[in-house]
């Protein structure tokens, strides 16, 4: 028997997503509780969104204070929190004085703005836009056109034209690039594809190759940004300067906000009347994001993402499970590669054991805990995740005594 809330989901919500895993009612720190009072250790953090965990006092206080001060005024007006967040993002991204920030309300909106930026740069002479196969940039019609997953695009064709998809190799980029390319979009770690890193040196090469042909390099930091990989933004590990980055997820810590951050000459492409959003950059959202980023900074959570990420990785690599093939990712954005297509079963078993993780695909379990976790949470995770793997391993052995042969 499906619980009544599952019936409500089925009856009342659009069927654009699958069945929901649980009815979650509240959260605190790295934990959430469902409607039956069962507690889960949340190592997904709303898909890399809840940077400070749940109900963090800084997050709560920022919302309450700004809601009681000024929540929304339209973009006919500027507000202090909006200007403060723009300056903060420019500083953290390292744009220098010439950077600019556009605010939207989601990752897709940040990438829509980036797509328009690319078109403004390209004009009639540069109709081509390059993106990587298997990368994810969003689900609106524009960002879906940038998303190199044919099965996601197919029901919604025709796509916005001009986008071509490349293998994630430097050679493929060299071969595709010419003076008719407006921009290259890249995800520094392909999160939705299963936490897949780009080849070593890719971003540096992409910077050189795009600069040579006059194309923009646009880095989608929506999942990797806000300190998650052990740098404020993943492109910073590569020591390059892109033309633009997009951010969302972790910067709001649970409040919906996204932004496009431009560098140098790319900052001069938009002109009045070319883009906008009613909610984008309103004082409520920007005050919350500012407080979240401020707490990540003052709490040393970027460095913590690196050190705790390394420890988490060690824990995962030392798991005694025949299911685990390896670990991918960086900082607190990790993917556990499985030898069998059982990520869904591992996630379900983890949930049974009181742990939330996610199946990025059939063979990858994605792990993206709050940046605020410490050794206690990592130890608890190790125990619960090992138990989940064990459950699935035993079930596999029952079904098929020699699982290696069916791999």
Q: Among all residues, which ones are annotated catalytic? A: 136, 220, 249
Residue 191 binds ligand PLP (CB under 6 A): yes
C-alpha distance from residue 271 to each of 45, 119, 278, 375 (Å): 37, 13, 17, 49
How far apart CA 191 and CA 134 sit, in angstroms, is: 10
How far apart CA 41 and CA 379 sit, in angstroms, is: 11
- Sequence-distant (≥ 6) Cβ neighbours of residue 308 within 8 angstroms: 332, 373, 374, 378
Residue 281 binds ligand PLP (CB under 6 A): no
Among 134, 220, 295, 377, contact with ligand PLP (rule: CB under 6 A)? 220
Task: State the Cα torsion 370-376-379-381 to the nearest 10°.
Answer: -40
To the question of whether residue 16 is assigned a binding role by annotation, the answer is no
C-alpha distance from residue 16 to each of 19, 145, 146, 207, 290 (Å): 10, 18, 20, 37, 32
Contact 378, 310 (CB under 8 A): no
To the question of whether residue 221 is assigned a binding role by annotation, the answer is yes
Minimum CB–partner distance for residue 296 and ligand PLP (Å): 18
To the question of whether residue 136 is assigned a binding role by annotation, the answer is yes
Q: Looking at the DSSP assignment, which residues form a beta bridge with residue 231?
A: none
Minimum CB–partner distance for residue 349 and ligand PLP (Å): 25
Minimum CB–partner distance for residue 124 and ligand PLP (Å): 28
Among 134, 187, 243, 295, contact with ligand PLP (rule: CB under 6 A)? 187
Among 30, 32, 41, 108, contact with ligand PLP (rule: CB under 6 A)? 108
To the question of whether residue 43 is assigned a binding role by annotation, the answer is no
DSSP result, 210-252? HHHHT-EEEEE-TTTTTTTTSSSSGGGGGT---SEEEE-GGGT
How far apart CA 203 and CA 240 sit, in angstroms, is: 7
Our CB check for ligand PLP shows the closer of 132 and 324 to be: 132
Residues contacting ligand PLP: total by CB under 6 A: 15
Nearest to residue 301, comparing CAs of 26, 102, 97, 58? 58
Among 79, 223, 267, 372, contact with ligand PLP (rule: CB under 6 A)? 223
Minimum CB–partner distance for residue 309 and ligand PLP (Å): 17
Our CB check for ligand PLP shows the closer of 46 and 230 to be: 46
Residue 46 binds ligand PLP (CB under 6 A): no
Our CB check for ligand PLP shows the closer of 63 and 248 to be: 248
Residue 248 binds ligand PLP (CB under 6 A): yes
Residue 107 binds ligand PLP (CB under 6 A): yes
Residue 137 binds ligand PLP (CB under 6 A): yes
Among 86, 222, 284, 301, contact with ligand PLP (rule: CB under 6 A)? 222
Q: Is the dihedral of CA 22, 26, 31, 35 positive or negative?
A: negative
Residue 197 binds ligand PLP (CB under 6 A): no
How far apart CA 15 and CA 10 sit, in angstroms, is: 7
How far apart CA 376 and CA 382 sit, in angstroms, is: 10
Six token digits for residue 264: 């140098």
To the question of whether residue 164 is assigned a binding role by annotation, the answer is no
To the question of whether residue 100 is assigned a binding role by annotation, the answer is no
Minimum CB–partner distance for residue 154 and ligand PLP (Å): 19
Q: Which residue numbers belong to the known binding site?
A: 107-108, 136, 139, 220-223, 277-278
Q: Which residue numbers belong to the known binding site for N(2)-acetyl-L-ornithine?
A: 139, 277
Q: Which residue numbers belong to the known binding site for pyridoxal 5'-phosphate?
A: 107-108, 136, 220-223, 278
- Chain residues that interact with ligand PLP, rule: CB under 6 A: 106-108, 111, 136-138, 187, 191-192, 220, 222-223, 248-249
């Amino acid at each position: 028997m499906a619980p009544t809330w599952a019936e409500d989901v089925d009856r009342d919500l659009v069927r654009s997503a699958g069945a929901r895993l649980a009815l979650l009612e509240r959260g605190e720190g790295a934990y959430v509780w469902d409607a039956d009072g069962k507690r889960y250790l949340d190592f997904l953090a709303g898909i890399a969104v809840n940077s400070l965990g749940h109900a963090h006092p800084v997050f709560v206080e920022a919302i309450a204070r700004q809601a009681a001060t000024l929540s929304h005024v339209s973009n006919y007006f500027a507000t202090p929190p909006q200007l403060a967040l723009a300056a903060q993002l420019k500083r953290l991204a390292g744009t220098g004085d010439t950077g600019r920030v556009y605010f939207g309300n989601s990752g897709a909106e940040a990438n829509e703005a980036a797509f328009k930026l690319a078109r403004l740069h390209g004009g009639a002479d540069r109709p081509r836009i390059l993106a990587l196969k298997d990368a994810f940039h969003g689900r609106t019609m524009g960002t879906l056109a940038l998303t190199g997953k044919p099965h996601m695009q197919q029901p919604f064709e025709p796509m916005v034209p001009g986008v071509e998809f490349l293998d994630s190799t430097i050679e493929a980029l060299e071969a595709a690039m010419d003076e008719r390319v407006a921009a290259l979009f890249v995800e520094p770690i392909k999160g939705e594809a299963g936490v897949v890193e780009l080849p070593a040196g890719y971003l540096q090469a992409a910077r050189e190759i795009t600069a040579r042909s006059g194309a923009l390099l646009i880095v989608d930091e929506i999942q990797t940004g806000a300190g998650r990989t052990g740098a404020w933004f993943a492109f910073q590990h590569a020591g390059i300067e892109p033309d633009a980055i997009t951010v969302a997820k972790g910067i709001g810590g649970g409040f919906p906000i996204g932004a496009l951050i431009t560098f140098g000459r790319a900052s001069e492409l938009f002109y009045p009347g070319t883009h906008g959003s009613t909610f984008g950059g309103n004082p409520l959202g920007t005050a919350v994001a500012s407080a979240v980023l401020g707490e990540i900074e003052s709490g040393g959570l970027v460095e913590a993402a690196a050190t705790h990420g390394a420890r988490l990785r060690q824990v995962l690599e030392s798991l005694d499970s025949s299911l685990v093939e390896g670990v991918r990712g960086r900082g607190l954005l990790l993917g556990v590669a499985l030898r069998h297509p059982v990520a869904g079963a591992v996630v379900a078993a983890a949930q049974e054991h009181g742990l939330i993780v996610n199946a990025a695909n059939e063979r990858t379990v994605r792990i993206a805990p709050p940046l605020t976790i410490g050794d206690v949470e990592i130890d608890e995770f190790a125990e619960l995740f090992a138990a989940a793997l064990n459950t699935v391993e035993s079930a596999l052995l029952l079904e098929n005594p020699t699982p290696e042969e069916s791999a």
